[in-house]
């Protein structure tokens, strides 16, 4: 280490030496050199200071300085060495009076013959030798470093980590995945008992799942629980522009792994190097394919129960080469999926360990509001909540901070500076309320959590709804309810304003996508249980390039017809629901115009009591204005809001929030309508 530091200092020493040489040269260049005749002519008129006379065999070398007024000027001169010249020089130089007119000069006489010739020669040669030697040494080190880098270019870039601190307790929301890797930990701790039983532990484990679900964290937890070294590398670190580099790095990585066995080798984003060979027009990538071939060979070269386990992660298992997934290589696949409500609660508890939460914060309720969030998203929600608390100089994170954090993660920060015209604001309010009405009144629907008309990102407003219970296999009724919910905003605009806007573009896109999947993939149409979509898609340019669709033109016409029928059926259903609940639509829309944001509790108060706040306990026996039914999921984003200043609303069709509380007892019907097309509301 010290030697490397000394080598790094050498360039600075050379620069210092060059500067000192330049300074000595500059000081020599400032000395005035007199010729013999000139010095003899001017010497008697000059006022000399300290001088030196060097008596040589043939000449006298005179050097020193003289005064030009008050300024000192260095000079040098040479005169023949005779007794007369020496006496004359002593007399002339001794007559100097200094700058103040007083005798201040000093004459020094030296004999160069008395000095050591070899010492003088050595003093003159040593600096030159040092300079040349330092230059040669520096260039030799630079060449050696370049050669070393050339050899290290083929070395593996895998990072070796020891003493991993991550444990299973730090990985939440994936209990089944932990069970799948427990025997790997057992094997790394005591491989002998597996060998005695004749069992073979999988050489490779492939973790598959959406981004942010914790695949890398789970792999580290396995290494931490087994207390073995952890090699981590990305698939893109193998591939370089030079052919053969990736294969060399693979060989070097497995060589190091065998030297440190037992250990875990983790390859992140393995699809960067493990893609199918020969895919694409004109062939594939030669360097990547050579790297993949070497990876396959090295995995086959690992003997059984040698203490090396390879864990890879990807979110694109469909593009991997089949040879990589065969038995004996990555023969065990672990799907790390998005967490459910219980898993989300556990993940929030893990990430909330170092957060200062207010007493009213309920992580379980927070998890209910985040369906579809990955572990990374949940960590981001808590982090955004902490940032908001710090921004407002609060000592603890409140539920309002976390509520705003969810909105920021999903849609981006609120654009409060963006202002609507009154007509645009009313249009957005009715659009979002239309989605909420479908969620409130449609059978098999979900819980309305929040409705807002505050712009966020590209959305003019949005409607957040969460399912009552998360389903692994949605039914046809669920898909139809979702499509109907997406169309609720467009229907509300048409019924209230007799006009439609471009704000429903994203709703139409999502509804059409679901309808196509129902017909082409799920067999939920009159065409029967036939899949007209292969589901793989063109992963690479050239893959199935020459193959056409697997159905005829007549079937394509029938598919388009069925998609149109599904959309039209859901559109008419949404129109019927909103027409039957027009009073509730106007009530929620008018309240939304005043409040800008309505929560689940406020919406249910409007449905039950006709006002935002619930009545006092003495009046709880009064009758609600509208019956409560089940709700459906819809998350809407209003992308574009046109200028609708000329749109007028018939005031006779609008109602205002009642000032008096409704009379009569409260009646909430527990059952739901059996007709999914036209649910009916019972009002008393």
Q: Which residues, 6+ apart, have CB-to-CB distance to 333 below 8 Å?
A: 205, 206, 207, 208, 317, 325
CATH number assigned to the domain covering 341-411: 1.10.8.60
Residue-by-residue DSSP string for 26-52: HHHHTSEEEPHHHHHHHGGG-EEEEEE
Q: Return the biggest CA–CA distance within the chain.
A: 142
Pick the CATH number of 422-536+551-653 from 3.30.1300.10, 3.30.70.100, 1.20.58.760, 3.20.20.70: 1.20.58.760
Residues annotated within the binding site for ATP are: 209-216
Answer positive or negative: Cα dihedral of 227, 233, 234, 238: negative
Q: Residue 380 has what pLDDT?
A: 92
User: What b-and-e string marks burial along 121-145, b requiring 16 or more CB atoms within 10 Å of the CB?
Assistant: eeeeeeeeeeeeeeeeeeeeeeeee
Copy the structure tokens of residue 594: 């005043």
Q: Catalytic annotation on 432?
A: yes
Which H, E and C letters describe 488-545, residue by residue? HHHHHHHHHHCCCCHHHHHHHHHHHHHHHHHHHCCCCCCCCCCCCCCCCCCCCCCCCC
Q: Count Cβ atoms within 10 A of the Cβ of residue 330 and give its class: 0-12 exposed, 13-18 middle, 19 or more buried.
A: buried
Q: What's the pLDDT score for residue 558?
A: 92
Burial class (CB in 10 A: 0-12, 13-18, 19+), 417: exposed
Q: In the chain, which residues have pLDDT < 50?
A: 1, 146-147, 150-151, 281-282, 536-548, 620-684
CA nearest to 482, candidates 676, 682, 210: 676
Token pair 């229907």: residue: 491
Strands annotated E in 371-488: 447-452, 462-466
Active-site residue, from 177, 289, 384, 432: 432
β 597-599/447-452 pair status: antiparallel
Measure the CA–CA gap between 71 and 154, rounded to whole angstroms: 67
Q: What number of CA atoms fall less than 13 Å from residue 124's CA on the CB side?
A: 6
Cβ 641 vs Cβ 420: under 8 Å:
yes
Tell me what pLDDT residue 403 has. 87
Say whether 613 sits in a helix, a strand or coil: coil
Query: What pLDDT digit, counting tens, does each position of 95-137 carry?
Result: 765 555 555 567 777 766 655 566 666 767 777 777 777 777 7
Closest Cα to residue 249, out of 268, 264, 229, 234?
234
Q: Quick one: tokens of 377? A: 């998203």
C-alpha triplet 520, 522, 528: angle, nearest 5°: 75
Task: Report the CATH number of the 159-335 domain.
Answer: 3.40.50.300
Domain boundaries defined on the chain? 31-114, 159-335, 341-411, 422-536+551-653
377 touches 411 (CB < 8 A): no
Q: For residue 54, give every residue at least 6 positions away whose Cβ sits within 8 Å of its Cβ, in sequence order, or none.
A: 60, 61, 62, 63, 109, 110, 111, 112
Predicted pLDDT at 646:
35
Give the other-Cβ count within 10 Å of 577's Cβ: 24
C-alpha span between 435 and 510 (Å, rounded): 14
Phi, psi of 531 (to 5 degrees): -95, 120
Strands 159-161 and 332-335: unpaired
Residue ranges for the known binding site are 209-216, 431, 435, 507
Burial of 366 (0-12, 13-18, 19+ CB in 10 A): buried
* Binding-site sequence positions for Zn(2+): 431, 435, 507
């Amino acid at each position: 280490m010290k030697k490397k530091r000394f080598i790094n200092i050498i360039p600075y020493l050379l620069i210092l030496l060059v500067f000192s040489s330049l300074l000595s040269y500059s000081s020599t260049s400032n000395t005035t050199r007199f010729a013999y005749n000139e010095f003899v002519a001017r010497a008697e008129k000059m006022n000399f200071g300290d001088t030196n006379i060097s008596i040589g065999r043939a000449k006298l070398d005179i050097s020193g300085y003289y005064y030009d007024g008050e300024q000192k000027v260095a000079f040098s001169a040479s005169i023949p060495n005779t007794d007369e010249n020496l006496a004359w020089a002593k007399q002339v130089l001794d007559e100097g009076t200094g700058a103040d007119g007083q005798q201040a000069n000093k004459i020094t006489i030296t004999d160069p013959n008395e000095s050591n010739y070899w010492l003088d020669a050595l003093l003159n040669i040593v600096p030159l030798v040092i300079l040349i030697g330092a230059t040669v040494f520096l260039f030799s080190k630079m060449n050696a470093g370049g050669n070393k880098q050339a050899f290290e270019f083929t070395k593996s870039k895998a990072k070796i980590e020891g003493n991993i601190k991550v444990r299973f307790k730090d990985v939440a929301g994936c209990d089944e995945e932990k069970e799948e890797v427990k025997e790997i930990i057992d094997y790394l701790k005591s491989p002998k008992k597996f060998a005695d039983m004749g069992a073979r532990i999988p050489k490779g484990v492939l973790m598959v799942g959406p981004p942010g679900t914790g695949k890398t964290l789970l792999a580290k937890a396995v290494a931490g629980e087994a207390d073995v070294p952890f090699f981590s590398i990305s698939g893109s670190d193998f591939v370089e522009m030079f052919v053969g580099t990736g294969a060399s790095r693979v060989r070097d990585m497995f060589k190091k792994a065998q030297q440190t066995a037992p250990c875990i080798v983790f390859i992140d984003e393995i699809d960067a190097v493990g893609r199918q060979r020969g895919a694409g027009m004109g062939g594939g990538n030669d360097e990547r394919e050579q790297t993949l071939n070497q990876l396959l060979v090295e995995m086959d070269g690992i003997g059984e129960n040698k203490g090396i386990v390879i864990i890879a992660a990807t979110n694109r298992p469909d593009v991997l080469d089949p040879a990589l997934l065969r038995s004996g290589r990555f023969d065990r696949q672990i799907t790390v999926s998005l967490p459910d409500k219980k898993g989300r609660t556990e993940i929030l508890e893990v990430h909330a360990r170092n957060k200062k939460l207010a007493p009213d914060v309920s992580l379980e309720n927070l998890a209910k509001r985040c369906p579809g969030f990955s572990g990374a998203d949940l960590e981001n929600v808590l982090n955004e909540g902490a940032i908001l608390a710090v921004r407002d100089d609060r000592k603890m994170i409140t539920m309002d901070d976390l509520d705003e954090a969810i909105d920021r993660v999903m849609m981006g920060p609120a654009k409060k500076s963006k202002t609507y015209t009154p007509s645009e604001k009313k249009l957005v309010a009715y659009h979002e309320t239309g989605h909420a009405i479908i969620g409130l009144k449609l059978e098999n629907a979900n819980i309305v959590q929040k409705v807002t008309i505050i712009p966020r990102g590209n959305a003019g407003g949005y409607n957040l709804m969460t399912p009552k219970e998360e389903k692994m296999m949605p039914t046809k009724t669920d898909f139809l309810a979702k499509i109907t919910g997406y169309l609720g905003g467009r229907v509300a605009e048409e019924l209230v304003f007799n006009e439609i806007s471009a704000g429903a573009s994203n709703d139409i896109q999502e509804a059409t996508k679901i309808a196509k999947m129902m017909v082409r993939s799920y067999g939920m149409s009159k065409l029967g249980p036939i899949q007209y979509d292969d589901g793989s898609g063109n992963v690479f340019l050239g893959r199935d390039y020459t193959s056409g669709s697997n159905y005829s033109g007549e079937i394509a016409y029938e598919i388009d017809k069925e998609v149109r029928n599904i959309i039209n059926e859901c559109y008419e259903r949404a129109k019927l629901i909103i027409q039957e609940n027009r009073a509730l639509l106007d009530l929620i829309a008018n309240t939304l115009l005043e409040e800008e944001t309505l929560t689940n509790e406020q919406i249910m108060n409007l449905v039950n009591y006709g006002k935002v706040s619930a009545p006092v306990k003495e009046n709880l026996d009064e009758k609600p204005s509208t019956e409560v039914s089940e709700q459906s999921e819809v998350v809407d984003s209003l992308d574009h809001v046109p200028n609708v200043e000329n749109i007028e609303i018939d005031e006779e069709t609008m109602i205002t929030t009642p000032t008096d509380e409704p009379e009569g007892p409260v009646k909430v019907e527990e059952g739901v309508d059996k007709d999914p097309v036209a649910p009916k509301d019972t009002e008393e």
